[in-house]
Chain A
Amino acid sequence: MIPEREKDSLGELLDRMVTKGVLINADVIISLAGIPLIGVKLEAAIASIETMLEFGLFEELDKNTRAWQLEHRKTRPLLHEYEEIELEFYGSFFQELHPTWKYCFIYVTNSRIFGWNKAFNKILFEVPVTKIRMVDIEKGIYQDEERDELCLNLENEEKLYLHSSDLAGLQDKIFKLIPGLPERLGSSK
């Protein structure tokens, strides 16, 4: 029998290209004669496939991609006992350890804030609310344009930046969740 190549099958290619092959892990910073060579995954590109699956806009795709989607579809991340979702939105986050904006579903619950990649059912970042020391809105630059970003100052001097279409609503929600949290306005990154 002669092997076939179904080059146009997205399902088959996705499996190989996305989940296999040499991968520079996003968590690894390869230090290189003083110049950091940072491997970052184009999570954003994957997210766009994920979003299209999410909203059911896949009539155009073949059945196989749908099968892939069915297998991967998880409608909710796994929550802890007594954990309740206060807010969920599709947005992006930025950590100083992996300095690139990544898109995902972001959840604010009564115990933590976390990012969830739906297609791969993976928690991308996670911050217990007890670790948040201060929250403020800062100016940032993204794709050459200035915009507002929500900056969470965490214990150990760490920072987490979040972006969503409703930053004020997000900030409000976090303030309600953690009474007595100090606010600082007008600073910039």
Chain B
Amino acid sequence: MTEIDHARYLYLIANTEEEQSLGDIGLGDRPVYTIVFQDIAAVVHASKSEPVPAKSEEQAEQWILNHNYVIDKATENFNTVLPFSFGCLARGDDEAIKRWLQKNYSLYKRELERLKNSAEYSIQIFYDPGVLEKQVLKTIPELEEIDQKMKAMPKGKAYIFKKKFELGLKQAVSDHLASMGREFDKLIKKNATQTIVEEKIPYVPEKYAGKKVMVAFSCLVAKDNAERLGQSLETINKREGFAVRFTGPWAPFNFVDLGNIENDT
């Protein structure tokens, strides 16, 4: 065994009994293959045991794209997979990985079965504060009245009214959003097996500029429900002042539950 073979870079765990090559699609075009234990397999490439840093920004970027590509390709071949985070290197050869699969077999198998025929989707709901303010204003005559009165007032007096008006409007918009939120939540949860609320959104396309994020979810969705979820989202997207961004299918990055594997081992 050469130095090259002393570690395995981990992409994912999948349901398959077949030892096979997925081609030279790994990080740095390395050959990617399956290491099988019974009917599950780790998809890996053979690597040196010391992690080699990316030489440039482009290379690091390319590696992340490669990691994603292997996960996509494997999902195509094997149905749902358990994706690893970028950069997991396990020390040991194929036999070591096999023993590791054997040791955690029931856990991985359980998750593979639970997540089978499901995928992760990401949903972000945006709102346009200007549009919502106008909508809300129409429904609250008191506020609209203040708005009209202010225009005829001297500056000092108008200022105090303006503060009062702004505060009232802000509260009304937030009440409106809360009630919409409950409605949207129901629509989404109806078609999702599991949902989690994302705390941050790392990426928002240009077309949503100027809008505010109302809520962001990651959802685990059964294949049969994906279309219905899309239809529900369409009804939200059509509402004036709201926009929905719907992406997927992704491997279930947010939903693999290995419990306390660290304590087990």
Co-complex (A, B): yes
Query: Which residues on A are within 8 Å of B, measured CB to CB?
Result: 1-25, 28, 30-33, 35-49, 52, 57-58, 60, 63-64, 67-68, 71, 100-101, 103, 143
Known contacts A20-B253, A22-B258; A5/B247 CB under 8 A:
yes
A19 nearest CB across to chain B (Å): 7
Binds A, one of B17-25, B30-38, B196-204: B196-204
Do the beta carbons of A32 and B54 come within 8 Å of each other?
A: no
Do the beta carbons of B99 and A33 come within 8 Å of each other?
A: yes
Query: Which residues on B are within 8 Å of A, measured CB to CB?
Result: 10, 12-13, 50-57, 59-61, 63-65, 67-68, 72, 82-92, 96-97, 99-100, 103, 121, 200, 202-206, 226, 230-231, 233-234, 237, 244-251, 253-254, 256, 258, 262, 265
Do the beta carbons of A4 and B247 come within 8 Å of each other?
A: yes
Tell me how many residue pairs across A and B have CB atoms closer than 8 Å: 177
**Overall SS of chain B's interface:** mixed
B254 nearest CB across to chain A (Å): 6
Do the beta carbons of A21 and B84 come within 8 Å of each other?
A: yes
Chain B residues in 8 Å Cβ range of A6: 203, 205, 247
Known contacts A17-B64, A28-B265; A3/B230 CB under 8 A:
yes
Of A3, A8, A28, which contacts B248 at CB under 8 A?
A: A3
Known contacts A22-B84, A52-B57; A3/B249 CB under 8 A:
yes
B88 nearest CB across to chain A (Å): 5
Q: In the complex the two chains form, what is the Cα distance from A11 to B204 in whole Å?
A: 9
Chain B residues in 8 Å Cβ range of A100: 50-51
A143 nearest CB across to chain B (Å): 7
Do the beta carbons of A13 and B51 come within 8 Å of each other?
A: no
Do the beta carbons of A45 and B92 come within 8 Å of each other?
A: no
Chain A residues in 8 Å Cβ range of B205: 6, 64
